Structure 1
Amino acid sequence: MQDKYQPIDINATGAEAARTAFGNQVAYCAKAGAPITARICAAVGQLLDRGEGGQLLDTVRGWTGAPLADALPLRLAGGLHALHLSGAEPALAAIYDDQPGADDVAIIAAAIHNHEAALLPWLDGPPQTNEAGRSANFIAAMPWLAEQGLPPRFECLEIGSSAGINLMLDRYHYDLGGVQVGPVPGAMAFRPDWQGNPPPDRAIKIASTKGCDVAPVDLTDPAQALRLKAYIWPEHTVRFERMAAAIAEAGRSPPDLVRMNAADFVEAQLARPQAPGTTRVLMHSIVWQYVPADQQARVTAAMEAAGARATPDRPLAWIALEANRTVHLHELVVRLWPDDGEPVMLARAHPHGASIDWRV
């Protein structure tokens, strides 16, 4: 199995694109400290290579979309992890306990064939990769926006909210290179490994949060919570602790989350009156690749049209933590209006919030 990325068009289709997507996922997981997930994806890749039969693997080979853009490897990895978490396939423990010498390919082949009907629906939708640690990026960007002269009172709109964990970002505490933000101790506390200068030490206020998802997850439903846990890479135990904290917090007061696609949501929210002295912010993390191209165009057009109407007392900002697939790193990028709306890269960051390399 490859140990580095192969150049591939993210929108490439076909059996070879599917195979390369699994290989790239192995390389990505190895780089991100996720050897167990790498083992899972490597085993599936070997099954594809040897022509293993069955409806599920045939579906993967014949994927009609773009396997990399659709995160096809992570869809299947989520289903397999759910089998392990539920105890439905005990043999998977050899891999998830990271035991050496296990026959990963045989174990995964058996799991797929034994539970094909249960695994097939996991291919139907994108991974729900909600991660509370990403909220540190959103919060770090807000004092920077205030430093540029935007009102430090923020109305936050999020697309691809999944379970709405990042919609509760005002309930968490953050240590951002020594700059303290949020309640103490907070429902969760984040202290990413910080590189570079700290963000501006400016007080901010979250006036409101509202988000959307095409398939929102109710954290108070144990079955839905299990699905969300299945998408957490098993190596990252702290993320399971955060998920438990988020479930408890949602039980106290659920996030404001609606079932809607990104474009419809952004257009509707931007059409609403904006309070004076408030910065309206669109934010999202590790979701843009899952938004269909036509919706990406509509969101961008709506934001730029609203930006043209923005005023110093009613400004608009766009905060995105997304993958730069040219350099294979994740970047925190902002746009703001009534400024020129040109993208500014504030940081490069770990996709799960472990580190932030501040660049401004």
Structure 2
Amino acid sequence: MGTSDDRPKYEFVDMDSSGEGAVRTAFTNQVAYCEANGAPITARIVAAILAVVEGERSNALIERIRGWHGAPLADALPLRVAGGIHSLHLSGDAPELMPIYRGIPAADTDIVEQVIFGHEAQLLPWLDGPPQTNEAGRSSNFIAAMLWLASEGLPARFECLELGSSAGINLMLDRYGYDLGGVEVGPANPVMTFKPEWKGNPPPDEAIEIVSAKGCDVAPVDLTDPAQALRLKAYIWPEHTVRFERIEAAIRAASDKKPDILKMNAAAFVEAELAKPQAEGTTRVLMHSIVWQYVPKDQQQRIVAAMEKAGARASADTPLAWVSVEADRTVHRHVLKVRYWPGGDEEVQLGWSHAHGADIEWLGA
């Protein structure tokens, strides 16, 4: 299933590219990506950071960016720095950023340069790990995929396993309500409700149940800790005000009952969970969103091998599925894909999705 004819195409960028020119490519690609996803303020910040990096001044932060040892796009280097700068704005420590975050025309490069050189010690730690882009709106994709899996004849009771759960916001997907192209799913009194702009046919109208949801992260975030919650908010693009409302709702939900998150790497988690007995009449589903690029290559290989091995022993009563929502940088959208075993182990693209669940273009039958 291909892209829509009117979807703009961008130059292909190898997510794993490194070396000369890779830092500039990562920042310019991130600017275009932000602009394509309704985030002009974040695009301004990222563009200004690049201008400072390519300028004449230097400090430890700038030198780490210039000499980045990994793949800057796969490592989300631009968003690491942008998250740190946003945190200074949210905490009130850098009032000079106010015009940019209010969307007012300003001397962006001069302002960001002042912040980078005035808050070097506060910003340096933000380079040490990838962004925690936990967004509840992505749950709509997972639910739509489960509706489709149920329509394919898989048991409609789902045991969910999530990679890169961060704060576990998507692990609470059974507490949310959904209106997906007119198909309504969820409890009578949901914590919050999602109604993404829907394009295409509605998903299948099936009765589904989430029987369990467990996730992993190498650095889990505790939503009930105000300091950790503030860090998570710093990665929210400021243009998307509804996302701040969602995270506050998620904080309240986590305060009532914390999501089940293990501190583990992705491969070890998948191998351990797939080795456990599976109840008959349930579909075990591995799911992840905007995570795969952060998983080391050796762990990716282990996960694929573990899934295919488990898929080979899956049965009609105990099937296995794999649902992913990951970036396609050639169109600056996200691809919703599904595999399942037995019988349908070829990957199927079910749709295109906005980065934060604002809209879904459904391609599934």
TM-score (normalizing by structure 2): 0.96
CA contact (8 A) 2:156 2:283 kept: yes
Change (3 A) 1:347 1:8: closer
AA aligned to 2:55 is R
SS in 1 for 2:345: coil
Determine the C-alpha separation between the residues in 2 that align with 1:324 and 1:91. Answer: 35
Deviation digits for residues 169-192 of structure 1 (CA, Å, limit 9, x no counterpart): 000000010001001340010000
Residue 135 of structure 1: CA displacement?
0.1
- Pair 1:144-2:148 in alignment: yes
Aligned-partner SS, 2:346: coil
Between the aligned partners of 1:65 and 1:323, the Cα distance in structure 2 is 19
Structure 1 residue 49 displacement after superposition: 2.1
Task: After TM superposition, give the deviation of residue 47 of structure 1 in Å.
Answer: 1.2
Q: Is the 8 A contact 1:14 1:61 kept in 2?
A: no
Cα deviation for residue 327 of structure 1 reads 3.6
**Higher deviation after alignment, 90-99 or 10-19:** 10-19
| Corresponding residue of 1:30 | 35
Residue 227 of structure 1 and its aligned partner are, at CA, apart by: 0.3
Tell me the distance in 2 between the aligned counterparts of 1:122 and 1:282.
Answer: 29
What's the CA shift string for 1:28-68, capped at 9, x where partnerless?
11111101000001111111222331110110010000000
Structure 2: distance between partners of 1:51 and 1:249 = 48
Cα separation, 2, equivalents of 1:302 and 1:5: 34
- Counterpart of 2:135 in structure 1 is 131
Which stretches in structure 1 are left out of the alignment for 5+ residues? none
Distance 1:329 1:351 in 2: 7
Matched residue SS, 1:341: strand
1:175-194 to structure 2, matched below 5 A, reads 175-194=179-198
Indicate if the aligned counterparts of 2:13 and 2:329 stay in contact, CA closer than 8 A: no
Q: By how many angstroms is 1:6 displaced?
A: 4.5
Unpaired segments ≥5 residues, structure 2: 1-7
Q: Are the equivalent residues in 1 in contact too, given 2:323–2:337 (CA < 8 A)?
A: yes
Match for 2:95: what amino acid?
A: P
Equivalent position to 2:221, from 217, 242, 245: 217
Is the contact made by 2:137 and 2:194 (CA closer than 8 Å) also made in structure 1? Answer: yes
Q: Equivalent residue for 1:258?
A: 262
Deviation by residue 1:242-281 (Cα, 9 ceiling, x = unmatched) = 0000000000000000110100000000000000000000
Task: Give 2:47's aligned residue.
Answer: 42
After TM superposition, the structure 1 stretch with the greater mean CA deviation from structure 2, 251-260 or 40-49, is 40-49
**Mapped partners of 1:292, 1:223: distance in 2:** 28
2:110 equivalent in structure 1: 106
Q: Which amino acid aligns with 2:233?
A: K
Aligned with 1:323 (options 313, 320, 327) = 327
Seen in structure 2, the aligned counterparts of structure 1 residues 247 and 216 have a Cα distance that, compared at 3 Å, is same
- What one-letter code is carried by the residue in structure 2 that aligns with 1:48? V
Residues of 2 paired with 1:144 and 1:6: CA distance? 32
CA distance in 1, matches of 2:43, 2:152: 42
Q: Number of matched residues?
A: 357
The range that moved more, 85-94 or 48-57, is 48-57
Tell me, yes or no, if the aligned pair for 1:41 and 1:73 is still in contact at 8 Å. Answer: yes
Please point out which of 191, 203, 209 is paired with 1:205. Answer: 209
- Any conservation in 2 of the 1:4–1:27 contact (CA below 8 Å)? no
C-alpha displacement of 1:69: 0.5
**Hey, what does 2:73 align to over in structure 1?**
68
Change (3 A) 1:4 1:306: closer
For 2:166, the equivalent position in structure 1 comes to: 162
SS in 1 for 2:219: coil
CA distance in 2, matches of 1:137, 1:112: 37
- C-alpha distance in structure 2 between counterparts of 1:90 and 1:238, whole Å: 23
1:336–1:342 CA contact under 8 A, matched in 2:
yes
Contact 1:5 1:23 in 2 (8 A): no
**CA distance, structure 2, for counterparts of residue 320 and residue 344 of structure 1:** 11
The answer to whether the Cα contact below 8 Å between 1:307 and 1:338 also exists between their aligned partners in 2 is yes
Q: Is the 8 A contact 2:12 2:329 kept in 1?
A: no
Give the superposition deviation at 1:340: 3.9
8 Å Cα contact 2:30-2:43 kept in structure 1: yes
Partner Cα separation in structure 2 for residue 316 and residue 202 of structure 1: 18
1:329 deviates by 2.2
Contact 1:15–1:63 under 8 Å retained in 2: no
Q: Structure 2: how far apart are the matches of 1:6 and 1:283?
A: 28
Task: Please report how far the alpha carbon of residue 7 of structure 1 lies from its aligned counterpart in structure 2 after TM superposition.
Answer: 3.7
CA contact (8 A) 1:173 1:180 kept: yes
Q: How much is the aligned-residue C-alpha RMSD, in angstroms? A: 1.2
Structure 1's 268 and 330: CA in aligned 2 closer, same or farther, altered over 3 A? same
Aligned amino acid, residue 96 of structure 1:
Y
Whole-Å separation in 1 of the counterparts to 2:259 and 2:150: 25
Task: Specify the code of the residue in structure 1 equivalent to 2:46.
Answer: C
Identity of counterpart residues, as a percentage?
67
* Runs of 4+ off more than 4 Å: 3-6
